Amino acid sequence: MTNQTVPKTAKLTFGDQELDLPVMVGSEGEVALDIRQLRAKTGAITYDPGLGNTGACQSKITFLDGEQGILRYAGYSIEELAQKSNFVEVMWLLLHQQLPTAAELEQFTHEVTHHTMLHENLKQLFSSLPKAGHPMAVCAAAVGALSTFYQNASANSPQQNWIDAVRLLAKMPTIAAYSYKHSIGQPFMYPRNDLSYAANILHMMFATPCEKYEPNPVMARALDLLLILHADHEQNCSTSTVRTVGSSGANLFASVSAGISALWGPLHGGANQAVIEMLMSIRDGKRSAREFMELAKKKDSGVRLMGFGHRVYKNYDPRALILKKACYDVLGQLGRKDPLLDIALELEQIALSDNYFIERKLYPNVDFYSGIIYKALGIPVEMFTVFFAIGRMPGWIAQWLEYQRDPEAKITRPRQIYMGATPRAYGQVEKR
């Protein structure tokens, strides 16, 4: 259906009532029925578990077409950005929905670079937490704690919002690295202003005061690529969480802390960790890849295929295609081999030739190959989701800022269909 043939209204018949619902058409042709007056005029609401058919906002940040396998940031294809751009430039693109000029990029890079240090008192938060605590829990706590250090943070001040956005983009890698260093009992490493964004992350993760450490440029570029691919993905669970918390008037730090917690779930950002654990179990077990895939088709086997399928994509995730090639490039340039990549390729080959997986449109997603690259970079498995959070940070912030500027934005308050008990009398405990 083209824009020219889309009707301006859709007629809804509800009992003896007829209601004309305005029809909205997005810039990429997506059609939506405007039901904002539905309850007021009919007393009825819609029922949409998971909100998969509900448009909660209008956005200019990210477009994806799951049927065609398309992902664009503000109109720029993920393939072109992955090849030509860098993560700091992508940050600006998401925040402003346009690419920066050379002067803007230089100034923005300077600002992000020179806000990477954490307040010394924040170190006490890390030291007060158990070393065995999951780094995502530590990061959520630390980002939330930034509100206590920057008490001017507010959802009502555009100028302050920009300052807080730069602070959070700059400090998230430091928080992530500190969470790792705390877990292994090593001293925290201060950020270096002479390094790129990705190289600085590697420095804070792997350097020690004992000897000089220079990040490998191949590893830094591979990490930069991963961050670009994770930067935003429309209204996913964690992004909608950031928007929902921000709709209450909560500041940026509090809203993003909630987003980190949402991302931690194994059905969301935690999936990349689950993929590596699955590949390692095949490598270390007695089952072949084909035997594993046969078990994955049986509901009662207890075996689940991780890294395949997506809530939105019903085609090959374009990010997975980029990362599949990157696996070869990174491992080749580092002079390494990884049997997990061989297992992953075999699993993919089986899935793409087996009618069971084809009919269910189970194609590799971004989590399937990202873990292999993280592993090649020396990133521990428990830190995979933390690095996902670093990458998703500009998307969360852009979405939060867009919500604050939206004149139609309201506090998020879904309705429900009550299915509980009808009115009943209270009985004294001794008579129940």
Tell me: pLDDT of 104 over 60.
Answer: yes
What pLDDT score does 1 carry?
A: 52
CA dihedral of residues 80, 83, 85, 88 (deg, nearest 10)? 120
Residue 232 bears catalytic tag:
no
Q: Do residues 62 and 232 make contact, with C-beta atoms less than 8 angstroms apart?
A: yes
Helix/strand/coil for 208: strand
Find out whether 335 and 300 touch, Cβ atoms under 8 Å. Answer: no
Given a cut of 90, is residue 10 above it in pLDDT? Answer: yes
Asked if residues 177 and 197 have their Cβ atoms less than 8 Å apart, the reply is: no
- Return d(Cα 27, Cα 230) in angstroms, integer: 23
| Cα 397 from Cα 353, distance rounded (Å) | 40
Instruction: Parse the chain into domains and list their residue ranges.
Output: 85-408
Tens of pLDDT, residue by residue over 279-288, are 999 999 878 9
Cα separation, 52 vs 105, in Å, equals 36
Retrieve residue 125's tokens: 């938060």
> What integer pLDDT is reported at residue 4 of this predicted model?
62
Cβ-based burial of 278 (10 A; exposed 0-12, middle 13-18, buried ≥19): buried
Q: Measure the CA–CA gap between 116 and 263, rounded to whole angstroms.
A: 23
- Residue 115, token pair as written in the block: 């806000």
Distances (CA, A) of 379 to 172, 182, 351, 371: 16, 15, 28, 9
Average pLDDT for 288-312: 88
Catalytic residue (one of 164, 233, 310, 317): 310
- Dihedrals φ, ψ of 40, to 5°? -65, -35
Report pLDDT for 274.
84
* pLDDT of amino acid 31: 95
Q: Is 96 a catalytic residue?
A: no
For residues 263-286, give the mean pLDDT.
87
- Stretch 266-293: mean pLDDT, rounded? 88
State residue 286's pLDDT score: 77
**Whole-number average pLDDT of the chain:** 93
- What fold is seen in the domain 85-408? Citrate Synthase; domain 1 (1.10.580)
Residue by residue, DSSP assigns 290-336 as: HHHHHHHT-GGG-----SB--SS-SS--HHHHHHHHHHHHHHHHTT-
Identify the three-state secondary structure at position 264: coil
Q: What is the C-alpha separation between 25 and 48, in angstroms, rounded?
A: 20
Interval 168-209: pLDDT, tens: 999 999 999 999 999 999 999 999 999 999 999 999 999 999
* Residue 115 clears pLDDT 60, i.e. is over it: yes
The answer to whether residues 69 and 365 touch, using CB atoms and an 8 Å cutoff, is no
Q: What is the mean pLDDT of residues 107-111?
A: 98
Asked whether 243 and 408 are in contact (CB, 8 A), the reply is no
**CA 231 to CA 253: how far, in whole Å?**
18
What percentage of the chain reaches a pLDDT higher than 90? 78
Which tokens go with 147?
């509100």
* Whether the predicted pLDDT of 432 surpasses 70: yes
Band the pLDDT of 2: cuts 50, 70, 90: low
266 CB contacts (<8 Å, ≥6 apart)?
273, 274
| Banded model confidence at residue 19, pLDDT cuts 50, 70, 90 | very high
- Write out the two tokens for 264: 């931690």
| Confidence (pTM) | 0.92
Catalytic residue among 224, 232, 338, 367: 367
What is the C-alpha separation between 220 and 23, in angstroms, rounded? 46
Instruction: Please name the residue ranges forming H helices in 85-196.
Output: 87-96, 102-113, 123-128, 135-149, 158-184
Digit-coded pLDDT (tens) for 362-377: 888 888 889 889 999 9
Q: Closest Cα partner for 248 from 331, 333, 156?
A: 156
